[in-house]
Structure formats: structure tokens, C-alpha cells
């Protein structure tokens, strides 16, 4: 199945729940099958599938999406001091930080940084103006960074005992 | 929030552009300007590295996320089930609606008894037209088995072999606006089925003309499911996997015209091709079994 891994991954980061992510992804392919006649050959198939994913997700999460926007834009700083970033970033740390980024920003960070869609493709998939995509990406990356530095801080010194898979540690 | 003391406006500009730079969305000139600044500004270049590090860490962590076991399989099952569901429940494309309307009329006109025959015929048409579309997708579109510059007629005749070489001028003549780039005999992996494949380019796209051995199968003869009928040949049209296909039956073969152009266009080309192919296959002799478009009796129970 094309792009299954990418879609599942994104779905899981967006809904925080493996079972729900699986359902969501299956729905995306079903929907794609049904509306295949609307797909224009030669256009980006992955972007099309993501468009369906977001369409469904937003349907499910309309209220959440709205509230996530409200509390994330309270602090409108442009070029404030950026918190330090640890030299080595562990998988679980960056994923934990990502989890804390509100949905409206998380989805854009995922599309831009993980799936490497262009601004234009993101704007089309999410039905947002290009400027909004840019500002949310910027804000989302910043929130991710702040989260990351907090997670790193919370370890304190020495860090977690159950960290057996610390391959990221130097 | 403590604001950093930037020594120049340039730093502030660079920071603002960093997000676009990371996503490769900056204009070339702006990128140049930014790179020049980064060379001379340690703070900004450290900042860029931090941001790149986060981005890479996120990509790496995401790539390492395991796919749940059996997700592909579960999905496959669901898709298969959905495919088998009656088409009117699938919210499908307009042709399905048209077929549904035709089917409803048929019930009123010929009574419920005929209904299952009609449904069966529809399914048969679907299955047979799928052959043509999958051959086109497999060999021409995904396999890209054609040259950018057309092969010479001599080469094509050789590839077709004596049995089918005479079909080449027929196909060329009946595809106005198209140039035949390639012709060959294709095999289907894991199946004894072979097909004669002509690949042509024109109207900004690639089109296949396919003749595949019927192997005893037949398109239904009922006029209700046919899109049109011309002479003694019925034509069937459909949109499948983003392609338009028109199919017909000549001699021991099914003929298909497939491309992403309109269904109407495929139908018209098929109507031109079918009689000419029928004649050519007949004079070719031996292979084209005398049935000449007449199908053996239906397999409906």
C-alpha cells in the first residue's frame, strides 16, 4: 500500500492513540478508493492521501483544533531568546515534546519537517492560506523546541533508570 | 521573556527567514544573502544548527516508529470488502449512479428476475475491463516500457511477430492524432495470459491498445450494460483506477483502448478500431477463431 507508513506515523502523532490512528488510516484508504476518480493522475499521490487524512481528522477534532489555536497564540514574540537545545536528542524526548505541541501546530510541523511537503502542498491539504502555514510552522517549531528543552531539563542529572535503549546517548 | 541583543538588523532578518530556509522555501537570492550572513555570524549559524538538529531528530524518531503488525493486512481486507460491497452503497462515481439508474429502469421494464443477470453481467464487464486497465498501468505507465522516440515500423513488426505484424498499420491508421511508439507481446507474471500491446503517444498522454486472448471468457451480449453497439460489436466503457477504458470483443480476443483521456474519446477510438481489427484478425486466419464477436452462451446460473 503506497505511503501507508507515512500516513500511519502522522496519524499516530496527531491522535495519540494507536488504535484510533489505525482506524483513521484505514478510513483514508477507503475514502481514497471511493474517490479515486477525483485523483488527477500525475499529481502528488502522497499529498492527496494526506489531504484526505486531514479532512477526516479535522472532522473528528474540530473543537480541539480551535481551542489549541487559542492558547498557543497568546505569546506573540518574534525574536525572543531561544531555549538551548541538547546536543544529543533522544527519540522519546523529541516525541514527548511533539506530543505537547497543540494539534493545529503539530500537524504543520509533521507535514513540513517529517514528510517534507512544500508550503504550498500543506496549504492545500489543510485549506489554509500560505501565510498561516508559515506562521504556524514557525510557532510550532518554536513550541517543539521549548518542549524539548523542558523535557531535557526534567531529567535533571544522571537521568532515568529505565532508559535501557539509550542509543542516542554519546 | 528576555530579548537577545542583536548587533545588526541582519541577524533579525536571518532569524525570521530561518524557517523558510529550513523548509527549502527561500528564493535563491535570499538564500545567498542569508548564507553570507551566516558565514560571518556565529550566533546565527549556531541557531540554525540547533534548529536543524531538532528537525533531524524529529525525522529520525518518526522514521523509527514501528508500524503496527498486520496493519497492511487489515487494511487490505477492509479494502477488499469495500470493493465487493454493492456499488450503490459506496457513494461511488457518477457512472455508478448511471448504471444504477439503468438498472432500476431495467427492473421496472423486464422484471426482477432479470436483475441478477444484469448485476452478474455488470460484474463480468467490470472484471474484463479491469484486465485492460491493469495491463496498461502495469506495462505502459508503471513499467514505462516504451521509448521516447518511436521505434521504427520494422522493429515493431519484428517485435509483434508474423502473427500480429499486420495489425500495426491498422492500429496506426485508427488512432488519429497518436503516434505508435511501441508494440510487443506482453506476458502477465504468474498467468498464462498473453496480450498484444500497442503503446501510443498523443494529446499529451500515453494510450494503450491491447488485445488479450479471451481464454473462453466473454463479454455479456446484453445491450443493457453496453455503452454502445456498432455493427455486431458491443462496446463497454468504464473509469477504473483513474483511467478510461473502452472494451470490445473481436474473434478470440478482448480489445481495450485505455488512457487517462475521456471515456467518450476511448469509446470513439474503440469504435473505429474494432471492425478494422476484426477484419485484420480474420485475414490473419488461424488464431482468430471464427466466433467473430459472437460470444458463447452466458455462464449465468
CA distance A30 to chain B (A): 6
CB contact under 8 A, A98 and B58: yes
Percent of all residues in chain B with a pLDDT value above 90, rounded to a whole number: 25
Distance separating alpha carbons of residues A70 and B176, to the nearest angstrom: 60
Of residues A39, A82, A138, nearest to B47 (C-beta): A82
CB B144 within 8 A of CB B160: no
Q: What's the pLDDT at B116?
A: 56
In angstroms, how far is CA A42 from the centroid of its own chain? 26
CB contact under 8 A, A141 and B54: yes
List chain A residues with CB under 8 Å of B47: 82
CB contact under 8 A, B20 and A134: yes
| Nearest C-alpha neighbor of B54 from the set A135, A32, A112 | A112
Buried b (16+ CB within 10 A) or exposed e, B281-296: beebeeebeeeebeee
Is 80 exceeded by the pLDDT of residue B266? yes
Helix (H) or strand (E) holding B161: helix B153-164
Q: Span B148-177, mean pLDDT?
A: 91
CA distance A56 to chain B (A): 16
For chains A and B, count residue pairs whose Cβ atoms are closer than 8 Å. Answer: 116
- The vertex-B238 CA angle with B234 and B242, nearest 5°, equals 150
pLDDT tens per residue, range A150-169: 877 776 533 333 343 433 44
List chain A residues with CB under 8 Å of B3: 79-81
CA distance B15 to chain A (A): 7
List chain B residues with CB under 8 Å of A24: none
CB A28 within 8 A of CB A125: no
Of residues A8, A41, A134, nearest to B19 (C-beta): A134
CA distance B283 to chain A (A): 39
pLDDT tens per residue, range B34-70: 888 999 899 899 999 999 999 999 999 988 888 887 7
CB A102 within 8 A of CB A136: no
What φ, ψ does residue B231 adopt, rounded to 5°? Answer: 65, -130
CB A151 within 8 A of CB A96: yes
Q: What's the pLDDT at A67?
A: 63
Q: Is B174 helix (H, G, I), strand (E, B) or coil?
A: coil
Is 70 exceeded by the pLDDT of residue A40? no
Q: What's the pLDDT at A169?
A: 40
Of residues A41, A87, A98, nearest to B242 (C-beta): A41
CB contact under 8 A, A37 and B67: no
CB contact under 8 A, A9 and B72: no
Give the best-scoring range by mean pLDDT among A94-103, B83-92, B214-223.
Answer: A94-103
Side-by-side strand order, sheet with B243-250? B179-187, B194-202, B205-213, B253-259, B243-250, B233-240, B228-230
Chain B: residue whose CA lies nearest to A45: B242
Chain B: residue whose CA lies nearest to A23: B75
What φ, ψ does residue A80 adopt, rounded to 5°? Answer: -85, 170
Q: What's the pLDDT at B75?
A: 78
Q: What's the pLDDT at B296?
A: 35
Of residues A22, A34, A78, nearest to B68 (C-beta): A22
Q: Span B238-256, mean pLDDT?
A: 89
| Nearest C-alpha neighbor of A55 from the set A70, A75, A71, A34 | A34
CB contact under 8 A, A113 and B67: no
CB contact under 8 A, B58 and A113: yes
Distance separating alpha carbons of residues A107 and A122, to the nearest angstrom: 9
Q: What's the pLDDT at B111?
A: 44
Distant-in-sequence, close-in-space partners of B201: CB < 8 Å, separation ≥ 6: B146, B150, B178, B179, B181, B207
List chain A residues with CB under 8 Å of B83: 33
CB contact under 8 A, B76 and A1: yes
Look-up: residue for cell 477504473? Answer: B240
Instruction: Taking the CA atoms of A123, A126, A128 and A133 in sequence, report the sign of the dihedral they define.
Output: negative
Sort A169 into a burial class: Cβ within 10 Å, 0-12 / 13-18 / 19+: exposed
Look-up: residue for cell 525572543? Answer: A80
Is 90 exceeded by the pLDDT of residue A110? yes
- The vertex-B137 CA angle with B144 and B150, nearest 5°, equals 35
In angstroms, how far is CA A23 from the centroid of its own chain? 18
List chain B residues with CB under 8 Å of A25: 71, 75
Is 0.90 topped by the overall pTM? no
List chain A residues with CB under 8 Å of B53: 85, 87, 89
Helix (H) or strand (E) holding B123: helix B113-135
ipTM tops the 0.85 cut: no
Scanning A35-129, the segments in alpha helix (DSSP H) are 45-60, 62-72, 91-100, 103-109, 119-126
List chain B residues with CB under 8 Å of A95: 61
Q: Span B93-120, mean pLDDT?
A: 50
CA distance B282 to chain A (A): 37
Distance separating alpha carbons of residues B257 and B26, to the nearest angstrom: 45
Of residues B15, B78, B260, nearest to A26 (C-beta): B78
Quickly state the pLDDT bin for A56 (edges 50, 70, 90).
confident
Q: Span A21-47, mean pLDDT?
A: 78
Which grid cell sits at A82?
A: 531561544
Range list of β-strands (E), chain B: 179-187, 194-202, 205-213, 228-230, 233-240, 243-250, 253-259
Quickly state the pLDDT bin for B298 (edges 50, 70, 90).
very low
What φ, ψ does residue B152 adopt, rounded to 5°? Answer: -70, 155
Amino acid at each position: 500500500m503506497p505511503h501507508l507508513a507515512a500516513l500511519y506515523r502522522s496519524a499516530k502523532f496527531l491522535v495519540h492513540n494507536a488504535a484510533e490512528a489505525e482506524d483513521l488510516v484505514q478510513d483514508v484508504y477507503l475514502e481514497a478508493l471511493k474517490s479515486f476518480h477525483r485523483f488527477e493522475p500525475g499529481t502528488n499521490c502522497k499529498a492527496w492521501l494526506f489531504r484526505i487524512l486531514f479532512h477526516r481528522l479535522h472532522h473528528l477534532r474540530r473543537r480541539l483544533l480551535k481551542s489549541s489555536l487559542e492558547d498557543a497564540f497568546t505569546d506573540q514574540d518574534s525574536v525572543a531568546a531561544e531555549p538551548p537545545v541538547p546536543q544529543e536528542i533522544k527519540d522519546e524526548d523529541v516525541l514527548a515534546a511533539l506530543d505537547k505541541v497543540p494539534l493545529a501546530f503539530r500537524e504543520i510541523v509533521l507535514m513540513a519537517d517529517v514528510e517534507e511537503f512544500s508550503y504550498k502542498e500543506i496549504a492545500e491539504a489543510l485549506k489554509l492560506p500560505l501565510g498561516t502555514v508559515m506562521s504556524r510552522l514557525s510557532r510550532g517549531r518554536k513550541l517543539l523546541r521549548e518542549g524539548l528543552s523542558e523535557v531535557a531539563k526534567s531529567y535533571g542529572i544522571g537521568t532515568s533508570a529505565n532508559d535501557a535503549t539509550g542509543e542516542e546517548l554519546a | 521573556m528576555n530579548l537577545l541583543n542583536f548587533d545588526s538588523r541582519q541577524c533579525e532578518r536571518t532569524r525570521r527567514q530561518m524557517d523558510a530556509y529550513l523548509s527549502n522555501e527561500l528564493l535563491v537570492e535570499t538564500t545567498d544573502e542569508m548564507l553570507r550572513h551566516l558565514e560571518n555570524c556565529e550566533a546565527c549559524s549556531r541557531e540554525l544548527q540547533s534548529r536543524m538538529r531538532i528537525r533531524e531528530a524529529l525525522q529520525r524518531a518518526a522514521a523509527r516508529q514501528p508500524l503496527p503488525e498486520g496493519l497492511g493486512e487489515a487494511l487490505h481486507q477492509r479494502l477488499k470488502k469495500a470493493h465487493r460491497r454493492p456499488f450503490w452503497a459506496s457513494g461511488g462515481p457518477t457512472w455508478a449512479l448511471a448504471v444504477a439508474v439503468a438498472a432500476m429502469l431495467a427492473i421496472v421494464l423486464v422484471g426482477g428476475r432479470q436483475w441478477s443477470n444484469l448485476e452478474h453481467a455488470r460484474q463480468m464487464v467490470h472484471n474484463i475491463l479491469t484486465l485492460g486497465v491493469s495491463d496498461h498501468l502495469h506495462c505502459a505507465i508503471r513499467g514505462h516500457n516504451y521509448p521516447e522516440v518511436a521505434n521504427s515500423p520494422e522493429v515493431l513488426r519484428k517485435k509483434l511477430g508474423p502473427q500480429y505484424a499486420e495489425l500495426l498499420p491498422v492500429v496506426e491508421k485508427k488512432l488519429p492524432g497518436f503516434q505508435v511508439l511501441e508494440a510487443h507481446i506482453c506476458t502477465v507474471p504468474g498467468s498464462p495470459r498473453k496480450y498484444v500491446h500497442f503503446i501510443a503517444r498523443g494529446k499529451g498522454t500515453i494510450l494503450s491498445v491491447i488485445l488479450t486472448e479471451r481464454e473462453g471468457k466473454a463479454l455479456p451480449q446484453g445491450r443493457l450494460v453496453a455503452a454502445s453497439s456498432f455493427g455486431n460489436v458491443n462496446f463497454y466503457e468504464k473509469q477504473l483506477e483513474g483511467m478510461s477504458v473502452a472494451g470490445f470483443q473481436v474473434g478470440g480476443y478482448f480489445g481495450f483502448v485505455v488512457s487517462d483521456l475521456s471515456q467518450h474519446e476511448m469509446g470513439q477510438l474503440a469504435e473505429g478500431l474494432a471492425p478494422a481489427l476484426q477484419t485484420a484478425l480474420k485475414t490473419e486466419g488461424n488464431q482468430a477463431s471464427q466466433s467473430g464477436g459472437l460470444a458463447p452462451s452466458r455462464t449465468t446460473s
